[in-house]
A = this chain, B = another copy of it.
Amino acid sequence: MDALTIHEAAETTGWTPRMLRYIERIGLIEPARSGSGYRMYGPGELQRLRTLRELLAEHDLGLGDVAFALRMRQDGAMQGDVDSWLEAEPRRPETVTAEDWLRWEQEKHARILEAVNANPKMETTA
């Protein structure tokens, strides 16, 4: 018995049932369904719902922001186009080769890793 219905999940995560449906609709957390269509929230979903609230509060984000980040991650072409556009701004070599770009990205990772390590309370334990 480790899956909760939508009202129970709302209770323990601090969201409202209404918002849990909304969060599902924008693609962030899609719980399994029972045979008759009831949403069943398992421990993983409950944890994600809680960390989602922390994430939003911590950086003053909206659900739409996170949904957009998800869309970026799922659409590699879009991610590439947006990243290309953004990276064209700072003063950098006039023509960027794919190798330049990959190196730049990997340096970015080092920076992010640093940020993650400096902030261990968000250890990604699914």
Residues of B within 8 A of A61 (CB): 78, 82
Closest B residue to A76 using CB positions: B115
A contact patch SS:
helix
Q: Size band of the A side of the interface?
A: 35 or more
The minimal Cβ–Cβ distance linking A114 to chain B, given in whole angstroms, is 7
Closest B residue to A101 using CB positions: B124
The minimal Cβ–Cβ distance linking A121 to chain B, given in whole angstroms, is 10
**Contact A88 to B119, CB < 8 A, known contacts A59-B75, A68-B65, A105-B109:** no
**A interface residue numbers (CB < 8 A to B):** 48, 51-52, 55, 58-59, 61, 65-66, 68-70, 72-73, 75-89, 92, 94-96, 98, 101-102, 105-106, 108-109, 111-119, 122, 124-126
